[in-house]
């Protein structure tokens, strides 16, 4: 990592006390698709953002200048950092009042970075990367553009985007102090507005990211694209991996924004992993259940976020006001089975649930497990927060047992009872945020069995 670069400063801040960054390696084609998707959503956003970009060299800016004209028209301000290559300021976009070019010194490490930061009261997104060094390439820097690789990460998480924007503004202040002050004022205004504004639809952003990645994948698979590219398979997998990352980042943001229960997905996934062992599920099904646990809030985010504050009767009324949102996952073929699992995670054993009022073994097994575990986790968290005189684990189990044969599969309550017994005897469930940038193993769907969705 380049000393003094924005990525390096952010990484240092997160190595001590803060959550570590989900760093990974990205091919240039992947980054182009990601950036275009995140940028183009600005055109549909409810608010005008502050955009900060770093293009490495002026020529990369010139390739994007026409697109940036439309983006600038929808933005509060656009600040572009790059070295002053020939022709950098010749394009009309550079002359717009709200577009500022920040010329970097050749020796500035940021001149070797590829950044996109989008910050508004309703929409935050970021790509933060730098190209691998000659040493990282093993002394053989690729000649083909397709083979270029970058190290970094991308996210929707507002807190990290705000933090990175502050680092970027501090860097810009070394070149243009007045611009840095203007941008600081804009950030302060957006921060105040964000508390009262409804955020843009994250489902739409994620769907756009996946679509752009899939379009890039289709172009890559055209006959003339792979002819002289030795890393074709790696790039293809890199694109698919980032489609998966988009959904995992969406799920992560749903957790982060729920201050009362910020580890729900990780804890449900950990319990699902343990339940898979208790039920002796085959490895492919256990992996799919674990992934479904990580993504379960994507299915009905509005319901699950309110779950721990509602009575059972209130929950049922609330659930019937919302249609399942898991269909967003269907844009990715590898997640079709997971989408079905999440769509039916609010079905009830006695047929009184939603959306299809399936009953008994008609409900996919993984859906039944998620229904029980997500409710149990929410109840356990609520008892920990609001009740000091009861054992939260025991009380949550008791509440679930009271609905055996109604909301929950009785056989699964037996397995949950064994899991709770183990927890009370000191068994620790490893609830952790997965390393999103290495999530390709979650979408490995080799084998016909993995494409089935069994009922039992």
CATH classification (class only), 260-451: mainly alpha
Q: Is the pLDDT of residue 439 over 60?
A: no
- Average pLDDT over the chain reads 83
Phi then psi dihedrals of residue 120, to 5 deg: -145, 170
CB half-sphere exposure, 296, CA atoms < 13 A? 34
Going from N- to C-terminal start, the domains of the chain cover 6-246, 260-451
**pTM of the predicted structure, to 2 decimals:** 0.81
Confidence of residue 432 (pLDDT cuts 50, 70, 90): low
Query: Has residue 155 got a pLDDT over 60?
Result: yes
Predicted local confidence at residue 237, as pLDDT: 78
Most confidently modeled of 91-95, 321-325, 405-409, 445-449?
Answer: 405-409
Please compute, for residue 345, the number of CA atoms within 13 A of its CA located in the half-sphere on the CB side.
Answer: 32
Check pLDDT > 70 for residue 435: no
Burial of 317 (0-12, 13-18, 19+ CB in 10 A): exposed
Q: For 108-135, what is the mean pLDDT?
A: 92
162-195 pLDDT per residue, tens: 999 999 999 999 999 999 999 999 999 999 999 8
pLDDT exceeds cutoff 80 at 326: no
- Dihedral of alpha carbons 123, 201, 302, 192, sign: positive
Confidence of residue 61 (pLDDT cuts 50, 70, 90): low
The model's pLDDT over 210-268, given as tens digits with 9 standing for 90+, comes to 888 888 877 776 666 555 556 667 777 778 888 888 888 888 888 877 878 888 999 99
Cβ-defined contacts of 320-323 (< 8 Å, 24+): 320/354, 323/355
Complete DSSP assignment for 90-140: -SGGGGSTTEEEEEPPTT-GGGGEEEEEEE-SS-EEEEEEEEPPTTTTTT-
Higher pLDDT, 390 or 342: 342
For the segment 146-153, the average pLDDT, to the nearest whole number, is 86
Q: Is the pLDDT of residue 408 over 90?
A: yes
């Amino acid at each position: 990592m380049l000393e003094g670069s924005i990525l390096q400063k952010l990484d240092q801040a997160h190595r001590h006390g803060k959550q570590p960054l989900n760093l990974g390696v990205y091919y240039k084609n992947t980054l182009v698709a990601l950036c275009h998707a995140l940028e183009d959503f600005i055109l549909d956003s409810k608010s005008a953002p502050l955009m900060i970009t770093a293009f490495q060299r002026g020529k990369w800016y010139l390739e994007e200048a026409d697109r940036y004209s439309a983006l600038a028209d929808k933005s509060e301000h656009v600040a572009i950092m790059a070295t002053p290559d020939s022709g950098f300021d010749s394009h009309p976009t550079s002359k717009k009042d709200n577009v500022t070019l920040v010329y970097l010194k050749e020796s500035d490490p940021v001149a070797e970075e590829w950044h996109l930061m989008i910050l508004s009261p309703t929409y935050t997104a970021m790509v933060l990367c730098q190209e691998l060094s000659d040493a990282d390439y093993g002394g053989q820097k690729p000649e083909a553009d397709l083979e270029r690789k970058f190290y970094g990460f991308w996210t929707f998480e507002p807190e990290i985007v705000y933090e990175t924007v502050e680092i970027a503004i501090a860097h810009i202040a070394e070149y243009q102090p007045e611009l840095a002050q203007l941008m600081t004022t804009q950030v302060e205004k957006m921060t105040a507005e964000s508390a009262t504004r409804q955020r843009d639809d994250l489902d739409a952003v994620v769907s756009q990211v996946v679509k752009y990645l899939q379009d890039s994948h289709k172009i890559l698979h055209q006959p003339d694209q792979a002819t002289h590219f030795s890393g074709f398979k790696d790039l293809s997998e890199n694109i698919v991996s980032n489609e998966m990352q988009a959904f995992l980042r969406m799920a992560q943001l749903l957790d982060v924004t729920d201050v009362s229960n910020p580890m729900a997905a990780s804890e449900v996934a950990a319990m699902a992993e343990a339940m898979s062992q208790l039920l002796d599920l085959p490895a492919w099904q256990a992996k799919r259940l674990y992934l479904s646990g990580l993504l379960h809030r994507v299915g009905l985010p509005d319901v699950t976020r309110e779950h721990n504050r509602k009575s059972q009767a209130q929950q049922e009324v609330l659930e019937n006001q919302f249609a399942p949102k898991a269909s967003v996952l269907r844009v990715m073929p590898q997640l079709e089975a997971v989408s079905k699992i999440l769509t039916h995670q609010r079905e009830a054993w006695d047929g009184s649930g939603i959306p299809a009022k399936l009953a008994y073994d008609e409900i996919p097994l993984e859906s039944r497990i998620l229904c029980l575990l997500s409710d149990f986790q929410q109840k356990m968290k609520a008892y920990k927060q609001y009740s000091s005189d009861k054992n939260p684990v025991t009380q949550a189990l008791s509440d679930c047992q009271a609905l055996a044969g109604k909301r929950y599969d009785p056989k699964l309550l037996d397995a949950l009872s064994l899991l709770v017994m183990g927890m009370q005897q000191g068994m620790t469930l490893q609830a952790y945020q997965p390393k999103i940038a290495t999530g390709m193993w979650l979408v490995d769907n080799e084998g016909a069995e993995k494409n089935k969705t069994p009922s039992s």
